[in-house]
Structure 1
Amino acid sequence: MIRVSAGAGSGRTPLSAFDAALREAGVADFNLVRLSSVIPPNSLVETVAGTDQIVGDHGDLLFCVYAEAHAELPSHEAWAGVAWALADDGSGGGLFVEHEGPSREQVERDLQSSLDDLIVGRGGGYHPAGTLMTSAVCETEPVCALVVATYRAQGWS
């Protein structure tokens, strides 16, 4: 199962805001290994709360696709989103796209355009199956918005 969750957070620095978003998304204690956006066959993609994210040990590798957006100026917004399409043949395979930006409209448009392009580029055979977006608004401290799709955790040994 590929779990998709979202988090948003603030902190005194963009890095600590990112950590707060990772905590809310349920993946703070992993080392993220970013993947390209192909969903392997026999996968089930499910949106979950951060508390229902993948389980692993502190420091494990976490293979994932994610979008992360930051804002540091008062009243500026950070938007992040992940969308996916699944193969029409029922194999469970598919495609993820991830985008970030300063507005909901831009991220929605980019997600749709990228997903359409990836499907057309493969000759069709996929249908849109889901989207998860989140946002954060900077008030005084930097903020981060994060959406993460987790494939699996793996220890170092």
Structure 2
Amino acid sequence: MLPTPTRYSVTAACAEGSTALNAFDNALLAARIGNVNLVRLSSILPPNAVYDPDLQLPPGALVPTAYGSIVCDAEGELIAAAVGVIISPDGIGVIMEYGGKCSRQEAHDTVSKMLDEAFARRGLTAQEKRIAAVEHRVERVGCCLAAVPLWY
């Protein structure tokens, strides 16, 4: 029997909260990963991982996740987060994430350049690239989060 391949999704969302942790939690909920325990990853996608845009995660599960986020309490500040995955034809993948005080497009472009540099450094060519990015204008305490959760 063949092992079940790793599945992953690419998600991003923003939210407000009364505190930094509540804003982060609300962004997790908006990104559909708020009822699991994130285990933070660095930047390598498991070989031959399969993209699943409707990835369902069991509540309370320990979920390996690469993510970038920003929390800000400066009213009116524009914040953004982005995450991306780049995969070679032989199934090797890299994940890059970013959060900062910028626009959605700037966050997207930053992650895209990071992915390109990571593959160039490895001498790899890209078969596919997926990027999710969001922006938010802070009202009280805002959070933008972009993540790649993995499930086995």
Query: Shorter-chain TM-score: which interval?
Result: 0.7 to 0.9
- 1:24 aligns with 30
Structure-2 separation of matches of 1:26 and 1:125: 31
Structure-2 separation of matches of 1:78 and 1:54: 28
Structure 1 stretch 101-110 or stretch 130-139: which is displaced more?
101-110
TM-score normalised by the chain length of structure 2: 0.86
- 2:109 aligns with 109
Structure-2 separation of matches of 1:79 and 1:152: 26
Q: Deviations over 1:60-92 (max 9, x none)?
A: 211111111122111101200011211123x3x
- 1:62 aligns with 63
Match for 1:14 among 10, 15, 20?
Answer: 20
Partner AA of 1:142 in structure 2: V
Shift, 1:57, TM fit? 2.9
Runs of 4 or more above 3 Å deviation: none
Query: Unpaired segments of 5 or more residues in structure 2?
Result: 1-6
Partner AA of 1:145 in structure 2: C
- 2:125 aligns with 125
Structure-1 separation of matches of 2:55 and 2:73: 28
Equivalent positions of 1:76-155 (< 5 A) are 76-89=77-90, 91=91, 93-104=92-103, 105-139=105-139, 141-152=140-151
Partner AA of 2:137 in structure 1: V
SS of equivalent to 1:126? coil
Query: Unpaired segments of 5 or more residues in structure 1?
Result: none
User: Given that residues 79 and 134 in structure 1 are in contact (C-alpha distance below 8 angstroms), is that contact kept between their aligned partners in structure 2?
Assistant: yes
What's the RMSD between the two structures over aligned residues?
A: 1.7
Shift, 1:128, TM fit? 4.8
Q: Percent identity?
A: 26
Structure-1 separation of matches of 2:15 and 2:87: 30
TM-score normalised by the chain length of structure 1: 0.83
Q: Deviations over 1:14-55 (max 9, x none)?
A: 110001101111111211101111111221224x3xxx4432
Structure-1 separation of matches of 2:108 and 2:49: 24
- 2:4 aligns with none
